[in-house]
């Protein structure tokens, strides 16, 4: 299943261990056009012949394929030309909920200041005090503060979520709450995917 025009994607530059977000501009018979990143430093990492992984989401699943930078195209905005794989070369990575990393991020729910335990593109696990009243199945509005691992601007991500599981830790006077995103912007979701990839890469480097 190919990505669609205007779909948000993530580019993993294999030779440099860097990722950036992009958008599909056009899907042709033999090539795909994507928007260039605004960061000029990243543009310098994309000479012709470079191998990149293209990662995107369809419904509840993440997909990726290996591609090659084959050139540039000057349009209203500068575009990057990448090779189009055969459909059989597209790999389903896993359900988005399963790609989860430990991450201590600031979170606001019902005006309560909280912190995540782990995060995925599909939801979060967070901790709160026993006094915070939440019920399984309840819908809540929240805001996730997502700092960039690469030192760029912090993302403010609003969402609606459903409480899926509550685990009471009486010895700690805490509750661990599993929340599933029910409404979240696709672009914000890709920011979370990028954060997860960067955290996973950092974890591998420190082992």
The string of pLDDT tens digits covering residues 36-91 is 876 666 666 678 888 999 999 887 778 999 999 999 888 778 889 999 999 999 99
Query: What DSSP string describes 117-181?
Result: EEEETTEEEEEEETTS---TT-EEEEEEEE--TTS-PPEEEEEEEEEEEEEEEGGGTEEEEEEEE
- Give ranges for CATH 2.40.10.220 in the chain: 99-205
The candidate with the shortest Cα–Cα distance to 122, out of 156, 96, 104, is: 96
CB-based contact 127:177 (threshold 8 Å): yes
**Percent of the chain whose pLDDT exceeds 70:** 88
Query: What DSSP string describes 103-124?
Result: ---EEEETTEEEEEEEEETTEE
CB-based contact 96:57 (threshold 8 Å): yes
**β pairing state of 106-109 and 112-120:** antiparallel
Q: Does the pLDDT of residue 151 top 80, yes or no?
A: no
- Give ranges for CATH 2.30.110.10 in the chain: 8-95
* Mean pLDDT of the chain, nearest integer: 87
The secondary element (H helix, E strand) that includes residue 65 is strand 61-74
State residue 189 phi and psi, 5-degree precision: -65, -40
Helix then strand then coil, in percent of the chain rounded to 5, is 15, 55, 30
Say what the pLDDT of residue 18 is: 78
Q: How confident is the model at residue 207 (pLDDT cuts 50, 70, 90)?
A: low
Which residues neighbour 204 within 8 Å (Cβ) at sequence distance 6 or greater? none
pLDDT tens for each residue of 5-36: 999 898 988 777 778 888 999 999 999 999 88
Provide the CA 49 distance to its chain's centre, in angstroms. Answer: 26
Q: Does the pLDDT of residue 206 top 90, yes or no?
A: no
CATH of domain 99-205: 2.40.10.220
The candidate with the shortest Cα–Cα distance to 189, out of 104, 120, 103, 108, is: 120
- The architecture that CATH gives domain 8-95 is Roll (2.30)
């Amino acid at each position: 299943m190919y990505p669609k025009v205007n779909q948000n994607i993530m580019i993993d530059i294999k030779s440099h261990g860097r990722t950036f977000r992009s958008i599909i501009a056009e899907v042709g018979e033999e090539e795909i056009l994507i928007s260039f990143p605004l960061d000029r430093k990243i543009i310098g990492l994309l000479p012709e012949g470079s191998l990149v992984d293209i990662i995107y989401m369809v419904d509840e699943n993440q997909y990726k394929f290996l591609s090659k930078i084959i050139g540039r195209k000057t349009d209203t905005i500068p575009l990057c030309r990448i090779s189009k794989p055969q459909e059989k070369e597209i790999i389903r990575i896993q359900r988005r909920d399963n790609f989860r990393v430990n991450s201590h991020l600031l979170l606001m729910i019902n005006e309560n200041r909280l912190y995540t335990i782990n995060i995925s593109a599909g939801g979060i696990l967070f901790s709160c005090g026993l006094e915070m009243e939440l019920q399984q199945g309840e819908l809540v509005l929240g805001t996730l503060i997502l700092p960039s691992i690469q030192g760029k601007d912090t993302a403010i991500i609003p969402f609606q979520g459903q409480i899926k599981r509550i685990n009471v830790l009486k010895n700690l006077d805490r509750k661990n709450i599993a929340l599933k995103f029910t409404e979240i912007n696709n672009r914000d979701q890709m920011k979370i995917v990028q954060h997860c990839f960067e955290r996973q890469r950092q974890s591998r480097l420190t082992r």
